[in-house]
């Protein structure tokens, strides 16, 4: 049974890894990253919702006082 020639495996694997590294570097370099977020003003205006202007409470049957 003939022996398997493994003398070229190192070069083959090394060139494959280098090729993959270069391809991933090119793919990452073409990626468009978002710019740094601009700071917002600290004065946030709170909008009143209709249910915030009224006093409401939901009474559950179990929360009623015992009689």
Q: Domain residue spans in the chain?
A: 6-30
Residue 14 above 80 pLDDT? yes
| pTM (predicted TM-score) | 0.44
> And the tokens for 4?
């398997």
* 33-45 mean pLDDT: 71
For residue 10, the tally of other CB atoms under 10 A from its CB is: 9
> And the tokens for 43?
């004065």
Closest CA to 12 of 2, 20, 22, 3: 20
Rounded Cα–Cα distance for residues 2 and 25 (Å): 41
| pLDDT bracket for residue 44 (50, 70, 90) | low
Residue 41 above 80 pLDDT? no
User: How much is the mean pLDDT over the chain?
Assistant: 77
Closest CA to 16 of 6, 8, 5: 8
For residue 42, the tally of other CB atoms under 10 A from its CB is: 5
Residue 5 above 80 pLDDT? yes
């Amino acid at each position: 049974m003939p022996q398997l020639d493994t003398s070229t495996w190192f070069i083959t694997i090394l060139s494959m890894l280098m090729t993959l590294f270069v391809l991933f570097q090119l793919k990452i370099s073409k990626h468009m990253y978002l710019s740094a977020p601009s700071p917002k003003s600290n004065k946030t205006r709170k909008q009143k919702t209709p249910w915030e202007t009224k006093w409401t409470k939901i009474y559950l049957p179990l929360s009623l006082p015992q009689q």
